[in-house]
Amino acid sequence: MATKLNQILAVEKGVKSDTQRKVTDAYHTIQKNALLSGLSRTYQPIDDEGERLPPESTRVQVQGEDLLKQVGAALTRLFDVTATKDWANCTARADVKVDGSTLLEDVPVTYLLFLEKQLVDLHTFIAKLPVLDAAEAWTLDQSTDCWRTEPVKTTRTKKVPRNHVKAEATDKHPAQVEVYHEDIVVGFWTKVTFSGAVPQKRVNELLERVGRLQNAVKFAREEANGTEITYQRVGEKVLGYLLG
């Protein structure tokens, strides 16, 4: 039965964790000298009248060679699975197609994984772009290469004191005058707002484009991971040399 790359990828994580656990357990075991030590002793009194004592013995519970075999078997499996994946990555390829057209041809699966991550980061960046205030009407100003609003004209006023005669003067009383201030237009402000932000429509278009490419890359990766591969058996050679 043919093996596919996605099958190897499915078991790789479990093989790694299982191997790490077995090697770690073996490492801890070899540091427990008591498990690798044995003892046998018998007692013989000097004459028949002497006290007789029972023999004492402690069996060796762990053999160093057995641990080497266990570690070697675990590493052999890991070496084979990793080799199979890496060999397959050299041949697993697929086209990236967007809207029915091929954008990239014969792309290695490792590059597809790289591209997938980059597109996630790019999507995050585009989504954070500042957008133009929808409450304003913007046009692109060629001279500044910025967006600008239509001129808005406002007045500038100045307070000028005025006198209001509340009561005319008489030969007995002076005039009663009240001072007040009147706002007088003295000039005009013309304001134009400029912005380097991006229209919301442009952001939406970019996000949609990135999303389409993300889907295309995922489809291509799945196709590449479905490539039939040859299971590599290099572990026995490596561990046979190391531990043989």
Identify whether residues 161 and 83 lie together within a single domain: no
**Helix boundaries (H) for 90-174:** 109-127
pLDDT tier for residue 48 given thresholds of 50, 70 and 90:
confident
Q: Which amino acid is at 121?
A: D
Residue 99 has pLDDT above 80, yes or no: yes
Identify whether residues 88 and 36 lie together within a single domain: yes
Dihedral sign from CA coordinates of 68, 69, 70, 72 = positive
Dihedral sign from CA coordinates of 8, 9, 13, 16 = positive
Domain assignment of residue 112, yes or no: no
Domain assignment of residue 140, yes or no: no
Identify whether residues 82 and 155 lie together within a single domain: no
Least confident of 12-16, 52-56, 177-181: 177-181
Domain assignment of residue 72, yes or no: yes
* Cα atoms in the 13 Å half-sphere on the side-chain side of 117: 5
Domain assignment of residue 241, yes or no: yes
pLDDT digits (tens, 9 = 90+) for 128-185: 999 999 999 999 999 999 999 999 999 999 998 887 777 777 777 787 878 888 899 9
pLDDT digits (tens, 9 = 90+) for 178-226: 888 889 999 999 999 999 999 999 999 999 999 999 999 999 999 999 9
- Model confidence, pTM: 0.71
| pLDDT over 90, % of the chain | 75
CB 235: neighbour CB atoms within 10 A? 20
Number of domains in the chain: 2
Position 236 scores a pLDDT of 93
Domain assignment of residue 203, yes or no: no
Identify whether residues 83 and 7 lie together within a single domain: yes
Domain assignment of residue 32, yes or no: yes
Identify whether residues 237 and 187 lie together within a single domain: no
Residue 243 has pLDDT above 80, yes or no: yes
Identify whether residues 84 and 164 lie together within a single domain: no
Identify whether residues 18 and 87 lie together within a single domain: yes
Angle at 230 between CA 227 and CA 233, to 5 degrees: 145
Identify whether residues 2 and 61 lie together within a single domain: yes
What is the C-alpha to C-alpha distance for residues 168 and 185, in angstroms, rounded to an integer?
Answer: 30
What is the C-alpha to C-alpha distance for residues 220 and 212, in angstroms, rounded to an integer?
Answer: 12
Domain assignment of residue 219, yes or no: no
Q: Is 19 exposed, middle or buried (0-12, 13-18, 19+ CB in 10 A)?
A: buried
Identify whether residues 86 and 162 lie together within a single domain: no
For the chain, what is the mean pLDDT?
92
Identify whether residues 187 and 238 lie together within a single domain: no
Domain assignment of residue 100, yes or no: no
* CA nearest to 80, candidates 243, 241, 230: 230
Angle at 238 between CA 61 and CA 31, to 5 degrees: 30
Give the residue-averaged pLDDT of 17-28.
95
Range of the domain at 30: 1-92+232-244
3-state secondary structure 187-235: EEEEECCEECCECHHHHHHHHHHHHHHHHHHHHHHHHHHCCEECCCCCH
